[in-house]
Structure 1
Amino acid sequence: MSDKVKDAVIAEANSVRAASQDVVKSGAYLYPFKGIIFFATHKGLWGPFASRAGRTISLGLGVTTAMFFFTYVPQMAVMALTSGPLAAVSAAILVLSESSAITNLLSRSFLLEDALLDTFDGTLIARNQEPLLAQGRQIKPQSGGRTAAARLGKMLSRPFTRLKPQALLRSLIYLPLNLIPVVGTVLYIAVQGKRAGPMLHARYFQLKGWNSEQQGEWVTKHRGAYTALGIASFVLEMVPFASIAFSFTNTVGAALWAADIEKATE
């Protein structure tokens, strides 16, 4: 198992290194920050977030408490070998980051799926992409001062994004990379960012009607951009106690990029 994990890490590192120039040139890493601004200035998109905030905060507190109880002392002991007197602080930051990653993974799969879908779709409406959204959802007419989210009608189709056991296992396998000061954390973020980027456009791919082969070709062609998007989004979602809010703003950012792609191809 250790050899397989080592080989997987080396392969991911080589892949990320090869795409590093495209990551910088793409500018896609800006979209999560554009998402923050857009979400903050469009109150009509706040409803899905507000409806799930209580349950996701409770999940986050539960996960964080359990992680500190079961993993803080062992990780502090390991960190003492590399961080010396700062081991207690380094281990606390590490546990908070791990808790945030686990909370985000679980909440996206079991609590936030519909809310994030509504946020993505509402952003498309706000960016005048009704023709694209109409491929997967009914849209109510714009009347009576309806907000973008209020115009969302019956769902006609949705991407299948439920948690897969292998996805959770993969995330847990890579968590120990954080025990390696600086380099390990950077590699962990790069690996998770590469995985997260295409997932943020799952709804876009579904609305385009692309099959898995078409999606793969598109992502491969724009690998650097998706890695950039994923890394920026993942870093924001690592922020303790704010990861859920950033899940929504990252979704907005991904939808903004999708809208820009559509406008560029018109």
Structure 2
Amino acid sequence: MLTTVIGLIYYFTIFPIILANSVLTLGIFGFVLSHIQLVLETNSISLLIARYLMFPTASSQLFDKVLEKNGQSSFLIECKKKFLQQDINKIKQSSSTTKRSKFVQMEIYWINYLPFKILFLFYHIIRSILPIVISLIPVIGPITVTVLCSPAIGKHLLKRYFQLLNMNKRQIEKVSHRHWGQFVSFGLVAGSLQMLPYVSLLFEFTNLTSAALWANDVINKKIKNFHD
């Protein structure tokens, strides 16, 4: 249903521009390629919307359930206890903060942190737009984006494991760089499956299950030196 709605919106807005450009440059071959592009782009956009609006809670629950079924209940309990303790510490810390210190912190934030946050925001916007621009290239565009984004796809699917261990961005980047080949190969296969129209949402769950099994192997030390 979501893919159909997104497809109709895409068809009456962006698609006419792509179709005109493809037909003018490639003729009848461009007509065929533009319709293939329509299917791939519609699928990618609908998956992106579903992933960030519908899946966050369900994906975490699925990931935890797979770990639990593979005998990692004690690991999950220990990680969630640490989360609870961290929340309690944050509440205590915030309650002991005076109004004066809050004012000072706000002043430091506006002067020292906000300008850099704005720069990082522009960086992330450009970084997000670039794959979209590349994906507009008929047929090879979405495939190229999948290959380029394969490490990020691997990290995204393993995100819940990183959350359970309370790993920061620097630690995650260190792990992904050390095991770059594993993240690329896993992300490439997962991304290729998610390119299949109308079944991409199903493969999102199967990919999460595979990521949870990967995490289970890491916990059981079947994959050595994953963190260190």
| TM-score using structure 2 length | 0.71
Residue identity opposite 2:160 in structure 1: R
RMSD: 2.7
Residue identity opposite 2:172 in structure 1: Q
Correspondence for 1:250: 207
**Gap runs ≥5 in structure 2:** 86-120
Distance across 1 between alignment mates of 2:205 and 2:78: 22
Correspondence for 1:94: 37
**Gap runs ≥5 in structure 1:** 1-56, 139-154, 158-163
Correspondence for 1:213: 170
Residues 71 and 95 in structure 1, CA contact (< 8 A), matched pair in contact too: no
Shift in Å, 1:88: 2.5
Residues 194 and 203 in structure 2, CA contact (< 8 A), matched pair in contact too: yes
Distance across 2 between alignment mates of 1:183 and 1:124: 37
Distance across 2 between alignment mates of 1:81 and 1:98: 20
How do 1:1-266 and structure 2 match up within 5 A? 57=1, 59-80=2-23, 83-137=26-80, 170-180=127-137, 183-263=140-220, 264=222
Tell me the alpha carbon deviations over residues 135-187 of structure 1, each in whole angstroms, 9 at most, x when there is no partner.
3448xxxxxxxxxxxxxxxx969xxxxxx997676444323324445654442
Tell me the alpha carbon deviations over residues 96-150 of structure 1, each in whole angstroms, 9 at most, x when there is no partner.
2112111111111111111111111111112212222223448xxxxxxxxxxxx
Distance across 2 between alignment mates of 1:246 and 1:99: 16
Distance across 1 between alignment mates of 2:125 and 2:7: 17
Q: 1:211 to 1:173 in 2, by over 3 A?
A: closer
More helix by share: 2
Distance across 2 between alignment mates of 1:104 and 1:220: 26
* Higher RCO, 1 vs 2 (CA within 8 Å, ≥6 residues apart): 1
Residue identity opposite 2:190 in structure 1: S
Distance across 2 between alignment mates of 1:207 and 1:235: 27
Q: 1:168 to 1:238 in 2, by over 3 A?
A: farther
Secondary structure (helix, strand or coil) at the match of 2:198 reads coil
Shift in Å, 1:262: 1.5
Tell me the alpha carbon deviations over residues 216-252 of structure 1, each in whole angstroms, 9 at most, x when there is no partner.
2111101121122112111211211111111111110
For these two proteins, the number of residue pairs brought into alignment is 187
Distance across 1 between alignment mates of 2:132 and 2:25: 17
Residues 78 and 179 in structure 1, CA contact (< 8 A), matched pair in contact too: no
Q: 1:82 to 1:136 in 2, by over 3 A?
A: farther
Distance across 1 between alignment mates of 2:199 and 2:122: 25
**Which is higher, the Rg of structure 1 or of structure 2?**
2
Residue identity opposite 2:159 in structure 1: A
| TM-score using structure 1 length | 0.62
Q: In terms of mean alpha carbon deviation, does 168-177 or 116-125 score higher?
A: 168-177
% identical aligned pairs: 28
Secondary structure (helix, strand or coil) at the match of 1:77 reads helix
Q: 1:103 to 1:112 in 2, by over 3 A?
A: same
